């Protein structure tokens, strides 16, 4: 039976195979076609074609070069095969292989070359960023201290040259190996022959290949000199004493020896004897072992180890300089912080904005509360809660904010139809915002904006609160179809309906596009549904991080996008980072290890009796990925939550890496000046970058090489005392977790107004007292500034763990917690925050109570710690009154005192008594405002706050009136 007869009888198998191949390729073609439509819809088509074209070009060039090299050399080996002769008994086996291969040698060579080219091409296409950065390199404007080269050579050129060198060496090694094998099969190499074992033609061929291979390795040795700039041999990254005085010289000698070996191989083309090339290769191998292994190890042991600091001092200084450059730590301002144990009335008055903004609610607790109180329907969800600041009633306020996203996967099983999931439940609706420092009488947050439709503070209102693009949206939705979308539920009657009118999305009315998307999502309803018409659009690639990654594949994105209510719509802001691991001397770090975070999620758990309860589970949230020793927050990506418009604002135009990418993708990046002033006021210091900087600053705050070597002043990130306290309270101690940085609206020392800053405290290594804190400014006027405040070296300032211990040991606190535990409720320690206020440090910690039958934690108490005083009250306002009810003395530098009347050196007088009374009354007004806000009485809240501020202004005028004409002493604020 012929093959044709077999196919005729089994025609259905052939048809099935053809259909499978067509389906496979059709799905891929449909995916590519729909990707093109998507890039065109968002206006970034050039990005797609540039990346695709570069990948194709790089892979094609690599594949063709490898295929031609392999095929050409294998064909040459076949052509150089000796004439037929009678083989010896030992050669009979090889001769049989030759006879079997000879008839199919040409197609076999073509197949081997094609496979080699395909493997090489596909393995190198992922290196397209390396090629593009090399092709569009820009100068860094700063030279490295060893070779005198611009740092741009190391960031852009050296990675590409190293890649080409490695690829070329592997290609030539493979070609030489296959050529030798071919010569063996075709008879040019006969190791068992009693006569000549290698024919002269084969000797010439292999000599040329080996000469090329060694020449490439000589180039590699030369490049290895520059790669020593990332050496880990010494105490720090970068060239060390041994690298400069041994390894660097070794690579130079190896380069020379390799060139000599190349000459010997080329000479062998004429003399065709292997003695000299073999001797040269042996010398090269021995020299490589000695010069790059034995000799540097001897120098390290005999010259460096006995006096390491003296030898390594200049190289440690280089590492300090370039690591600070790489992580943006060059311009950190440092100033002493007195950490006084008390606050005077003027300091309280000056820092009223800071005290009003003490954050009691943490995002994890609020996310739980939002889900319980504001979801309203199972198909809504709050993915995350973020911290931001807004101007409310003319005052800058710190708020917690989240958006109500659609979660169609949580529809009841009977409602899980394609029409519901893809055509009706298409978008979320509205945002929710709460005050950071207050709670209602029931211990719930005070909502500034809540409900559906959203209502509340007018400053947080947007004209269009619909959320089509978010953190975890549906895979795709069809809008503008014959079925109107569910807009939002009403208290009475049917839900409100809506039709999408935005510019986002891809029209899907034509048969071709419907078929393409049906293949992409393996969904026949996209073709069969009569509800899809010519006006219909499909919204896909809706996750905001996926959208930004698609149009800016060269950026690493922060793990925490945050929503902003500006103008007519809600916008998402995502911090984008340019990174490199090729800055000389800069310490490399594992970004994921430094930026991974834990998030508490409520997960439904079924008990033995079948009931479902929600339990908290800690889930790791990945941060930045990869290794880096250079990072810049060069881009703020802004995504419109309604139509998905993506705008990439360049926030660091001086960054050479973003300059290179601007050359690669011209017109895709937008100058920061084109962002609205309102939007820029909501940009935050990037959290992931700050975490990386904070980790490096633990040791790289040390200014000089000698102190850095001893690590005598090294710092640690303090332990998150609240997490440890909660674990102890539950009787299940878990692993310790470092205190993560937190945003706080505060008046930084020496500044005239409150600003939104990211704060990270530090403790000394092996000790728990506070030694410093680092602040990253977020407001436009000082955006990106880093300031380090150092505690007095001769004074013990309690750190978070020590303060937590004091809180636990306080009689009132411990008695209250014992009482709550005995009632069966669960006590939850909130974040213990270190808040600089004037010249003092205030610790604040909320205490939450979760009843046995409730999933909603209630804010019951607020604990404040200042110096030796610990107070616990029902609210922040009452705690502030308890702490500052009587204005304490103001300590002057040098141990003097400023009496309460504000005049240095004089006795307490009528003015001082009056100021003290006014401040106490103002604090009582703030407490009354707090109680009004808890009742939801915004009018009374505003009235009481205004009265309190007027009282403080009156006290300030009294103090100014009694101040002497001589220069006034330093303030307590």
pLDDT band at residue 909 using 50, 70 and 90 as cut-offs: very low
Angle of helix 800-809 relative to helix 721-730, nearest 10 degrees? 40
% of the chain exceeding 70 in pLDDT: 86
Cα gap 133→159, rounded to integer Å: 9
pLDDT band, very low/low/confident/very high, at 960 (cuts 50, 70, 90): low
Residue pair 142/130 in contact by the 8 Å Cβ criterion: no
pLDDT beyond 60 at 884:
yes
User: What pLDDT score was predicted for residue 934?
Assistant: 73
Which pTM does this prediction carry? 0.86
Cross-strand partners of 835: 842
- pLDDT confidence of 897, banded at 50, 70, 90? very low
Q: What is the pLDDT of residue 914?
A: 55
User: What CA–CA distance (Å, rounded) separates 49 from 34?
Assistant: 14
Per-residue pLDDT tens for 599-613? 655 555 555 555 545
Q: In this predicted model, what pLDDT tens digit does every residue of 807-835 receive, in sequence order?
A: 988 888 988 888 888 777 888 899 999 99
Average pLDDT over residues 642-669: 96
pLDDT of the residue at 545: 96
pLDDT category of residue 971 using cuts at 50, 70 and 90: very low
The per-residue pLDDT of the chain, averaged, comes to 86
Sign of the torsion angle spanned by Cα atoms 876, 882, 887, 889 = negative
Range from 130-144, 401-415, 615-629, 854-868 carrying the lowest mean pLDDT: 615-629
Dihedrals phi, psi of 126, to nearest 5 degrees: -70, -10
Q: Is the pLDDT of residue 11 over 70?
A: no
Res 967: pLDDT: 38
Q: What is the pLDDT of residue 374?
A: 92
- Residues 408 and 379: beta-carbon distance below 8 Å: yes
> Mean pLDDT lowest for which of 137-146, 543-552, 953-962?
953-962
- Report, as an integer, the average pLDDT of 860-869: 91
pLDDT for residue 867 is more than 90: no
pLDDT value of position 382:
93
> What per-residue confidence (pLDDT) applies to 823?
76
What is the pLDDT averaged over residues 714-738? 80
Greater model confidence, 274 or 847: 847
Res. 900: pLDDT tops 80: no
Model pLDDT, residue 772: 96
pLDDT at 138: 97
What confidence tens digit (pLDDT) does each residue in 754-812 have?
999 999 999 999 899 999 999 999 999 999 999 999 999 888 899 999 999 999 888 88
What mean pLDDT comes out for the span 877-891? 63
Residue 917 C-alpha from the chain's centroid: 50
- Among 378-382, 491-495, 839-843, whose mean pLDDT is lowest? 491-495
Per DSSP, what are the bridge partners of residue 574? 637
Question: 600, exposed or middle or buried, with CB in 10 Å at 0-12, 13-18, 19+?
Answer: middle
> Would you call 3 helix, strand, or coil by DSSP?
helix
pLDDT per residue over 235-278, tens digit each? 899 999 999 999 999 999 999 999 999 999 898 888 777 787 88
Mean pLDDT of all residues in 129-140:
97
Q: 728 versus 639: which is more confidently predicted?
A: 639
Please state the φ and ψ torsions of residue 924, each to the nearest 5 degrees: -65, -35
Sole residue written with tokens 């439509």: 37
What SS3 state is found at 635?
Answer: strand
Q: Minimum mean pLDDT among 77-91, 165-179, 882-896: which range?
A: 882-896
- What integer pLDDT is reported at residue 729 of this predicted model? 67
- pLDDT per position as a tens digit, 41-64: 999 999 999 999 999 999 999 999
The pairing of strands 333-336 and 786-790 is parallel
Least confident of 81-85, 404-408, 899-903: 899-903
Across 216-244, average pLDDT? 95
Q: How far apart are CA 781 and CA 774, in angstroms?
A: 18
Q: What percent of the chain has pLDDT over 90?
A: 60
pLDDT at 773: 95
Write out pLDDT tens, residues 488-506. 999 888 899 999 999 999 9
- On the question of pLDDT at 348 being above 90, the answer is no
pLDDT surpasses 90 at 942: no
Query: Could you report how far apart the first and last alpha carbons of the chain are, in Å?
Result: 100
């Amino acid at each position: 039976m012929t093959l044709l007869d077999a196919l005729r009888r089994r025609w259905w198998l052939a048809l099935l195979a053809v259909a499978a191949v067509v389906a496979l390729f059709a799905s891929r073609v449909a995916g590519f076609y729909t990707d093109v439509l998507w890039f065109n819809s968002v206006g970034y088509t050039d990005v797609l074609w540039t990346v695709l074209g570069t990948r194709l070009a790089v892979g094609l060039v690599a594949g063709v070069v490898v295929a031609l090299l392999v095929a050409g050399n294998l064909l040459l080996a076949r052509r150089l095969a000796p004439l037929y002769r009678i083989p010896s008994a030992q050669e009979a086996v090889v001769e049989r292989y030759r006879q079997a291969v000879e008839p199919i040698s040409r197609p076999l060579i073509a197949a081997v070359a094609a496979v080699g080219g395909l493997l090489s091409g596909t393995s190198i296409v992922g290196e397209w960023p390396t090629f593009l950065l090399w092709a569009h390199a820009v100068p860094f404007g700063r030279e490295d201290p060893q070779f005198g080269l611009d740092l741009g050579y190391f960031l852009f050129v050296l990675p590409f040259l190293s890649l080409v060198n490695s690829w070329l060496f592997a290609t030539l090694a493979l070609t030489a190996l296959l050529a030798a094998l071919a010569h063996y099969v075709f008879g040019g190499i006969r190791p068992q022959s009693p006569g000549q074992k290698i024919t002269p033609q084969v000797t010439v061929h292999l000599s040329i290949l080996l000469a090329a291979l060694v020449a490439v390795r000589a180039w590699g040795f030369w490049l290895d000199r520059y790669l020593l700039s990332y050496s880990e041999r010494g105490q720090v990254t970068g060239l060390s004493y041994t690298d400069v005085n041994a390894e660097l010289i070794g690579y130079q000698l190896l380069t020379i020896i390799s060139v000599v070996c190349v000459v010997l191989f080329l000479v062998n083309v004429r003399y065709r004897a292997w003695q000299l090339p073999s001797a040269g290769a042996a010398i090269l191998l021995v020299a490589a072992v000695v010069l790059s292994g034995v000799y540097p190890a001897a120098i390290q042991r005999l010259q460096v180890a006995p006096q390491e600091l003296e030898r390594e001092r200049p190289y440690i200084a280089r590492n300090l300089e370039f690591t600070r450059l790489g992580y943006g730590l060059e311009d950190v301002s440092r100033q002493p912080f007195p950490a006084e144990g008390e606050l005077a009335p003027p300091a309280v008055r000056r820092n009223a904005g800071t005290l009003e903004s003490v954050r009691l609610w943490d995002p994890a607790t609020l996310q739980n509360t939002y889900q319980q109180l504001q979801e309203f329907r199972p198909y809504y969800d709050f993915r995350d809660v973020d911290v931001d600041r807004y101007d409310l009633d003319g005052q800058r306020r710190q708020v917690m904010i989240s958006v109500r996203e659609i979660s169609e996967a949580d529809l009841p099983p009977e409602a899980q139809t394609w029409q519901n999931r893809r055509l009706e439940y298409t978008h979320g609706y509205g945002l929710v915002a709460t005050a950071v420092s207050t709670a209602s009488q029931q211990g719930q947050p005070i909502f500034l904006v809540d409900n559906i439709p959203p209502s509340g503070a007018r400053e947080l209102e947007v004209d269009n609160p619909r959320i089509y693009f978010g953190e975890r949206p549906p895979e795709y939705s069809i809008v503008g179809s014959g079925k109107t979308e569910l807009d939002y539920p009403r208290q009475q009657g049917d839900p409100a309906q809506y039709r999408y009118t935005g510019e986002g999305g891809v029209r899907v009315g034509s048969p071709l596009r419907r078929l393409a998307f049906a293949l992409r999502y393996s969904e026949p309803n996209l073709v069969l549904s009569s509800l899809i018409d010519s006006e219909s659009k499909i919204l896909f690639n809706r996750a905001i991080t996926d959208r930004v990654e698609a149009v800016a594949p060269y950026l690493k994105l922060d793990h925490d996008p945050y929503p902003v209510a500006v103008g007519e719509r809600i916008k998402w802001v995502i911090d984008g980072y340019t990174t490199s691991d090729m800055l000389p001397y800069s310490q490399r770090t594992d970004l994921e290890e430094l930026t991974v975070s834990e998030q508490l999620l409520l997960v439904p758990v079924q008990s033995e009796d079948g009931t479902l309860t929600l339990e908290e589970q800690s889930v790791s949230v990945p941060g930045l990925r990869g290794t880096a020793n250079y990072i810049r927050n060069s881009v703020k990506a802004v995504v419109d939550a309604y139509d998905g418009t993506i705008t990439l604002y360049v926030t660091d135009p001086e960054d050479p890496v973003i300059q290179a990418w601007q050359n690669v993708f011209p017109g895709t990046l937008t100058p920061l000046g084109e962002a609205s002033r309102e939007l820029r006021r909501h940009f935050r210091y990037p959290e992931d970058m700050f975490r990386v900087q904070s980790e490096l600053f633990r040791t790289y705050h040390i200014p000089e090489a000698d102190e850095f070597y001893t690590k005598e002043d090294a710092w640690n990130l303090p332990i998150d005392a609240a997490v440890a306290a909660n674990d102890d309270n539950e009787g299940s101690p878990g692993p310790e977790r470092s205190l993560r940085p937190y945003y706080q609206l505060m008046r930084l020392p020496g500044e005239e107004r409150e600003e939104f800053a990211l704060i990270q405290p530090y403790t000394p290594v092996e000790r728990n007292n506070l030694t410093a804190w680092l602040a990253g400014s977020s407001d436009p006027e000082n955006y990106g500034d880093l300031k380090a405040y150092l505690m007095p070296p001769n004074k013990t300032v309690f750190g978070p763990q020590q303060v937590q211990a004091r809180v636990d040991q306080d009689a009132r606190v411990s008695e209250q917690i014992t009482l709550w535990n005995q009632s069966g409720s669960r006590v939850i320690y909130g974040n213990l925050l270190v808040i600089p206020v004037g010249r003092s440090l205030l610790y604040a910690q909320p205490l939450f109570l979760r009843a046995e039958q409730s999933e909603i934690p209630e804010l019951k108490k607020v604990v404040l710690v200042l110096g030796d005083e610990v107070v616990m009250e029902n609210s922040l306002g009452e705690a502030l009154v308890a702490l500052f009810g009587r204005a304490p003395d103001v300590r002057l530098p040098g141990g003097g005192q400023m009496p309460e009347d504000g005049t240095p050196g004089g006795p307490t007088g009528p003015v001082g008594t009056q100021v003290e009374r006014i401040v106490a009354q103002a604090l009582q007004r703030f407490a009354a405002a707090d109680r009004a806000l808890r009742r939801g009485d915004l009018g009374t809240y505003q009235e009481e706050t205004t009265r309190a501020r007027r009282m403080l202004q009156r006290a300030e005028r009294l103090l100014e009136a009694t101040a002497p004409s001589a220069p006034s002493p330093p303030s307590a604020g």
